[in-house]
Amino acid sequence: MSPEPPEPNTTASGLVSPRSPEPERPESGPRRLDPDDLSHPTGTLATGGARAATHPTAGAPSPRNRRTLLAPLPSGAVESRHTRPPGRRRSLRERIALALQERFALAALLALPLGIALAGPFLPVADGDRTQPFDPAAPWPGTDYLGTSVLDGVLDGGWGIVVTAAAATALAFLVGLPIGLVAAATRRRWLDEMLMRPFDLLLALPSLLLMLLLASIAPPTAWMLVLIVALVNLPDIARIVRAAALETAHRPAVEAMWLQGESWWRTSIGYIARSILPTVAADAGVRLVGAFYLVAAASFLGVGAGPEASDWAVMVDVNRGGIFLSPWGVVLPAALLVALSVGLNLLFDRLLARKAAA
Amino acid sequence: MLPYAAKRIGLGAVQVLAVAVLAFALVELLPGDAAVALAGDQPDPANIARIREQMHLDEPALARLGDWLAAIATGDFGASLVSGRPVAHLLATALEPTLILAGLTLILVLPLAIGLGIAAARRRGRWPDRLITTFTVGLYSVPEFALAVLLVSVFAIGLAWLPPTAVGVPSLLAEPAVLVLPLLVLLARPICSIARLVRAGMIEALDSEYVAHVRRAGVSERRVVFAHALPNAITPATAQIARTADWLLGGVIVVESVFVIPGLGTALVDAVNARDLPVVQGIAVVFGATTVLVNLAADLVAFRLAPRLEVAR
């Protein structure tokens, strides 16, 4: 039919379950029927036809319009699924401009906090002398609870959170991927059960609670935080990998490889693991955002990477007392955390949507 | 329904038991001598001996596990190592603010999330949908404390509309203004995830044959949406509502800390920082059991709504 590109700005189309019909499918009949029209079944055909004919673009000889004009609607057309309210149409140029705008907004949202987090520790900033805590007279953005400049803390404080979250996600996948894969690829049911059952119990606990419990008995170091966040993320990863791999493991190709006597390694690593990679990559984004959330929350609650580490979350915590005197010490790190989280969310959602559209 | 319910309740009971055992195992997992590790800052022999005696650390682990399970079954969680007060008593006093927060959130979250989801789905592709979708995707896993602090600095300090913390408030319900910001923060995450799912389900339902059919039959649009499309659209969201319990409890911990509300979350964080293990264990059991119960209820509701979907757990 008409080569209409899918609207680029329905960002969440990846969320629509794959069973749902394509949003734009100009099949037959009056494309845009009003639900009000449809509530009067007798008037439907006439109104629909008239509407199509008087449509502003109806003069243009696009194939779709010609069809509506020339061929009277077959009675089956009323059965069409296009019963949703009419949306405002945008021209292609408008849509491209909008998509570009969105992309720039997203890039800005991500680049600022990520740039500060990754490059901040290496930026040469003149080490100012310590003044009094929460000094309202200090140059923007003021001083923190120790009297050092908030700017120093902001520049140095992102690195730890971002790296810890990334390391924890990587570690969780490093462990969860083989577990899920083995559980799916094995033909021994007890092994599958033994690997996956414990995760059911872990999933029954709120993740932040689990983290606080583990932190209450573990020494507070950065590595311990990586381990704990990885462990909290592990059950979900193993489940998703297993579900994806199970579907692949029952393909005829795998059966054939098995019958041919291919080695277990070749079947499970060479074929199954490779074919679930896209699913795993899509999930990795979600996990990274989740790990970021957990690391930040842990740091804020004071069970994170030791008291000497000063990341954005810790800054929010320790500078809270002076929020009336020097609000930037709290607002800046909090805003950076929110911007980074929102940016990552939107980015991964967009990637997912593109993958689903492809 | 009944066989499924029985199976699901059995699993829930096992989960509650596992939570209790896990909480107990915390003591065993402590590196080295548990009593020494718990004494922490005050490692004098008298203190260590007191902890060892109070927690019966001399007895074998299995015997202690049996005692611990029997004790919590009767509501006896032991006594705090720091203050010496019974943990059950601590829990009882801290329960009210947490219950108020969680209860109000649960009451508000469903109408708001479903309303947003329906609004977005009915205006698919237009600006209300794009706005709602961007917000729900973006705010999906924003750290609650950062959001809370930003809201406080805007609405409590910048505009001075609302009180910044709950310090000095005798009861949360006595001054509802105190509750506004905490509730906003607590609602953000569950609303986002549920609204997304409701939107996706609604879009699918509104495009379906049966909706087209009831529309042709002359049914009013309101009835089409609420009586025909919504019940089918909401089933996928039910499982997510169960996950909400998880976030809600996590969120309560953070939100109580930011707004200085003396609830279970604050008690838990204080106990973790003070290595007051009996209190940590008690709160863990309460939180874990609550999560399991909510999950259980949500699964049963989901099964009742759509029995054909065996909700695999």
Q: DSSP characters for A110-167?
A: HHHHHHHHHHGGGS----PPP--TT-TTSSTT-B-TTSSBHHHHHHHHHHHHHHHHHH
Among A38-47, A173-182, B185-194, name the one with the lowest average pLDDT. Answer: A38-47
The closest alpha carbon to A244, from A285, A184, A203, belongs to: A184
φ, ψ for residue A130, nearest 5 deg: -70, 135
Distances (CA, A) of B49 to A138, B37, B281: 52, 12, 21
Kindly list the residues from chain B whose CB atom is less than 8 angstroms away from the CB atom of residue A219: 31
Residue A152 has which token pair? Answer: 């120093």
Tens-place pLDDT, residues A105-158: 788 778 777 777 777 777 766 556 666 666 666 666 666 666 677 777 777 777
How many other C-beta atoms are found inside a 10 Å radius of the C-beta of residue B171? 11
Average pLDDT over residues A338-355: 81
Distances (CA, A) of B90 to A214, B47, B80, B264: 22, 22, 9, 9
Percentage of the residues of chain A whose pLDDT score is greater than 90 = 1
Kindly list the residues from chain B whose CB atom is less than 8 angstroms away from the CB atom of residue A200: 11, 15, 313
Which residues neighbour B310 within 8 Å (Cβ) at sequence distance 6 or greater?
Answer: B4, B303
In chain A, alpha helices (H): 35-38, 44-54, 63-70, 92-119, 150-185, 189-203, 207-217, 222-249, 252-259, 264-265, 274-275, 277-301, 312-318, 328-357
Average pLDDT over residues B147-170: 76
| pLDDT bucket at A43, cuts 50 / 70 / 90 | very low
Nearest-angstrom CA–CA distance, B101 and B248 = 9
Chain A nearest C-alpha distance from B212 (Å): 6
Tens-place pLDDT, residues A200-247: 777 767 778 878 777 777 776 778 888 888 888 888 888 888 888 888
Output the pLDDT for position A170. 92
Structure letter (DSSP) for residue A288: H
| Four-residue CA torsion sign, A10, B224, B193, B235 | negative
Higher pLDDT, A20 or B310: B310
Kindly list the residues from chain B whose CB atom is less than 8 angstroms away from the CB atom of residue A316: 145-146, 149
pTM: 0.73
Nearest CA in chain A to B27: A217
Asked whether the beta carbons of B277 and B107 are under 8 A apart, the reply is no
Average pLDDT over residues B178-183: 83
Q: For B204, which of A20, A39, A316 is closest by C-beta distance?
A: A20
Asked whether the beta carbons of B121 and B202 are under 8 A apart, the reply is yes
Cis amide prior to A141 (ω within 30 degrees): yes
The closest alpha carbon to A332, from A160, A164, A151, belongs to: A151
Own/partner contacts of A31-37, CB < 8 Å, gap of 24 or more, are A31/A64, A31/A68, A31/A82, A32/A82, A32/A86, A32/A87, A33/A82, A33/A83, A34/A85, A34/A86, A35/A83, A35/A84, A35/A85, A35/B215, A35/B221, A35/B224, A36/B221
Asked whether the beta carbons of A109 and A93 are under 8 A apart, the reply is no
Tens-place pLDDT, residues A290-327: 888 888 888 888 776 655 667 887 777 877 777 777 77
Q: Is the pLDDT of residue B247 over 70?
A: yes
Q: For A335, which of B123, B150, B272 is closest by C-beta distance?
A: B150
Q: For A87, which of B29, B125, B295 is closest by C-beta distance?
A: B125
